Structure 1
Amino acid sequence: MEYTTTHNGTFRDHLIFLLLSLFVKIHASHVIEALPPPRNVVLMTMNTNYTLKWGWNETTSKTEAVSFSVQYISKYKLESKKRHNWSIACDKTSSKFCDLTAYNLHYLGIYMLRVRTNDNHSHSDWVQKEFCPEKHAAVGPPSKVELAVSVNNLDVFISDPLTNSNRSMKVNLPKMYYNIVYWEHHANKRIPQPQIMNTSTNMVTLTDLKFWTLYCVRVQSRSDRPDKSSKFNLPHCIQTDGFIPWWQTVVYFLGSLVMSCTVVLLLLYILFRCYKTFKATFYPLIQLPQIFQKYPLDPLGSDIPCLLPVESEAELFCDIVTICPKPPEHHSHSSKDPSMPPFGLEPASSSTALYNHQDIRRSTDSGVYSTEGSKCQQHQLNSSQSSFEADQDPVDLDPVKIHDMSPGHDSQCENAVEGFIDLCV
């Protein structure tokens, strides 16, 4: 009986040992195969914009298909005895950040945030982080800074930082104020000691500045409760004005007056030259005769004279005339020697003399040229006749007659000297 009891106790101890060993192995294998949680969990905040970020070591995972889940809950709900549910912000996202701005977390509330890693078959432990926007959220610089100059005073206009819904941050931080830093800016010189001014208003005037000096301004948002301060905005620079001396005003006025007069006179001169050129081109002082203006071209069959074109050539018309010779001087005055030419004419080599003259009936010839040609011929004939009459004796002589060429005259001028003289103009 004692042997049976001892044997049963030993068997029970072995069974318990085996069960414990199996449990330890199963638990150890589960721990080894569990996913590592995210690390370096931080919050990036600015005014009411909140973003949760974390890191992940990809070498510790056996699979590349991992995702992350982010949840949040108010801390007072978590501490209450009632059943609570976590709100999902990002579920199985492959990104390593989660934007919480759209969930409108209350600025004065306290929240618990948690994130974990997921794969196809398992997930890691939760990594939790407490977040209070009033305490942990940073405040941004002014949304806009503008400068305006009034002689040697400088007006600074400041716009409040804005929330994600474009409202002023003074709704969440009623005691927020601004730290203004300004200084004189000199190129390639040492920057002097900046001056600091604090103001809770959105407009401030910097007085008693130097004339004609470049000033730069930077503004920072601050809050003492809670203690927060933003970064400074980019510098804004502007130059102050000053009073202009009277002599400088006079010089500027005279210079502008001289320049204006010069420009006006130059324009008037250009207009005058254009007018003179136009008038000389289209309305010249020397006008053509009225007949040429009225009849610039000679139509065919017109009796009105016109100017010949430069390239045109006058047509020549010739008629044959006969000149009876002068009788010799040793004969009597009453007798006429047909073998001698008239006075003033030299003997010709042929029995017939031709004179070419311009046909006055040609309608295309110019009146000026026709008139000059006829006058020239008449003047030569008159001068020849005058010389002939002066050299004659008082005895009455028969004049030399020019007869038209005809067959009947050949017998009367048998011994006449014939020649051709070109009288064309």
Structure 2
Amino acid sequence: MTALCCLGVCFVLLLKVSAGFGDLRCPENVSVDSLNTRYVLRWDWPHETTANQTVTFTAQYIAEFRSRKAKHDKLWRSVCVNNSEHRCDFTRAELHYQGLYLLRVRANTSQQSSSWVQIGFCPDKQAALGPPSSVKLNAVKEDLEVTITDPLSSNNQSMKTLLDNNLSYLIQYWRRSEGPQTAKVLLTPNNVATLIDLDRQTWYCVRVQSRYEYYDKNSVFSDTHCARTKGQMPYWQIFLFFMASLLLCFLLALLLCFCFYKMFRLLKNTFWPAIQLPEHIQELWLNDSEKPQLLSPASPESVCEPLVMVNAVLDEVEAMDEQSVNAEEQDSSAHSRTGSSDSGVYSTEEDSCHRSTTHTDLQMSSKKHRAQLHDGTLMELCV
């Protein structure tokens, strides 16, 4: 009877153990995401659970040398307990950078727990190295002085002290117009480095990478910083800048002169037009009593009078006509005295006829010529 009771108790215990560990699956893809002294344990849990079960996770760690003891189960230290996220931050555990540790994680429900998933972790070997926390450039004559601040731990401690001063820096520098593809490099263990053999008055860009030679770890590059070197500018550059400035000033002055000329012409044509009214019309406008009155277009009165502009040529033509008439009269009288001595009456009549005919022709010719001259100078003036 006693033996049967013992067997029943053992069977119940086995059922509880199988119910506690046999059904719930373990987390997968467990890894450590680390940078300097910041460590985050990550895992995946793609398994399905029943609707009334909530899965949480527990993460622990232990030093590797302590795990070799017989009763090491009580030496594990929990960092995350019943955590619903698929990550656990081990930064606050303050793991020694050059130590060796074991990290483990399991899934939990209200009734079950999965088995532990365990990995080894050595920060000195596995943790990623960060870039310098700060990079500054200072132009010293024709050179550039690069000041580098060490990458910092989670406690704002220099990583160089944790790496036993085995930290060095790879400096890349190039002209800003060329790009990092043509960059030159400088490897230095110091926090202050000087870049030499640079061009004067030229912009250079710099970025820095942290390097740990013992485990061959390289960080990503820092942000790019640019600065301009000092020193006297070459004479050909000074001459080129002077000519460019002179040309620019000349073009600007030419543009200002052109704008001033256009403005002056506009003002002059507006207030002092080139075409002026005749003097007698200006006198009419100046005399208030003789100002012309505007008439309606339908008024029957004539509002235009002919204005004849006599040129000096007309006076010369009239003088020439008078001289021609006088010459003809003299010729006619002389001819009448010498040519007709027999019949005085006939000669006198013939001379009179000839003289009248010649005088009439000259008058008609003069009038015709005067009319031709007057046609070009006759115009009407509306008053």
TM-score class, shorter-chain normalisation, is 0.5 to 0.7
Q: Which one of the candidate residues 273, 297, 305 is aligned to 2:262?
A: 273
- Residue 261 in structure 1 maps to residue 236 in structure 2: no
In the TM superposition, what is the alpha-carbon distance from 1:208 to its structure 2 partner? 2.5
Displacement of 1:266: 2.4
TM-score (norm 1): 0.51
- Residue 219 of structure 2 aligns with which residue? 231
Instruction: Give the aligned length.
Output: 297
TM-score, normalised by the number of residues in structure 2: 0.55
CA distance in 2 between counterparts of 1:106 and 1:25 reads 38
* Residues 1:70 and 2:58 aligned together: yes
Deviation at 1:219, TM superposition (A): 2.5
1:50 is matched with 39
Specify the SS of the correspondent of 2:58: strand
Q: Is the 8 A contact 1:47 1:139 kept in 2?
A: yes
CA distance in 2, matches of 1:374, 1:24: 143
The equivalent position to 1:316 in structure 2, one of 296, 300, 310, is 300
After superposition, the Cα gap between the structure-2 partners of 1:85 and 1:12, relative to the gap in structure 1 and judged at 3 Å, is closer
Give the drift of 1:46: 0.9
* Contact 1:117–1:124 (Cα < 8 Å) also in 2: yes
Question: Which residue number corresponds to residue 197 of structure 1?
Answer: 187
Match for 1:220 among 198, 209, 212? 209
User: Could you tell me which amino acid in structure 2 is paired with residue 51 of structure 1?
Assistant: V
Relative to structure 1, the CA distance from residue 373 to residue 100 in structure 2 (aligned partners, 3 Å threshold; closer, same or farther) is: same
Q: 1:164 to 1:280 in 2, by over 3 A?
A: farther
% identity of equivalent residues: 28
Letter in 2 for 1:250: F
Q: Which is greater in Rg?
A: 1
Deviations 1:39-73 (A, max 9, x none): 442211112332111233527x6779552323446
Alignment of 1:289 onto 2:278: no
User: d(CA) in 2 for partners of 1:28 and 1:89?
Assistant: 24
Deviation at 1:238, TM superposition (A): 6.9
Change in Cα spacing, 1:294 to 1:156, as seen in structure 2 (3 Å) is farther
> d(CA) in 1 for partners of 2:5 and 2:15?
16
CA change 1:176–1:280 in 2 (3 A) is: farther
Partner of 2:130: 140
Instruction: Answer whether contact 1:182 1:215 (CA < 8 A) is retained.
Output: no
Change (3 A) 1:85 1:280: same
The 8 Å contact of residues 211 and 219 in structure 2, kept in 1 or not, is answered as no
Structure whose residues are more often helix by fraction? 2
The answer to whether the aligner puts 1:115 opposite 2:86 as a matched pair is no
Q: Which residues in structure 2 correspond to 1:75-154 (within 5 Å)?
A: 86-89=77-80, 91-93=82-84, 95-101=85-91, 103=92, 105=94, 113-128=103-118, 136-145=126-135, 153-154=143-144
Aligned-pair Cα RMSD in Å: 5.3
Cα 1:181/1:259, change in 2 over 3 Å:
closer
| Contact 2:204–2:227 (8 Å) recurs in 1 | yes
CA distances 1:297-326 after superposition (whole Å, capped 9, x unpaired): xxxxxx6533537xx416236xxxxxxxxx
The structural deviation recorded for 1:127 is: 3.7
Matches within 5 A, 1:390-401: none
Q: Which residue is 1:156 aligned to?
A: 146
Q: Structure 1 CA distance, aligned partners of 2:118 and 2:234?
A: 71
Cα pair 1:210 1:240 within 8 Å, conserved: no
Q: Partner residue of 1:298?
A: none
After superposition, residues 403-422 of structure 1 pair within 5 angstroms as none
| Mapped contact 2:21–2:112 kept (Cα < 8 A) | no
Structure 1: gaps (5+ residues): 1-10, 296-302, 318-357, 359-364, 376-424
- 1:367-378 equivalences in 2 (<5 Å): 372=305
The answer for unaligned runs of 5 or more in structure 2 is 309-382
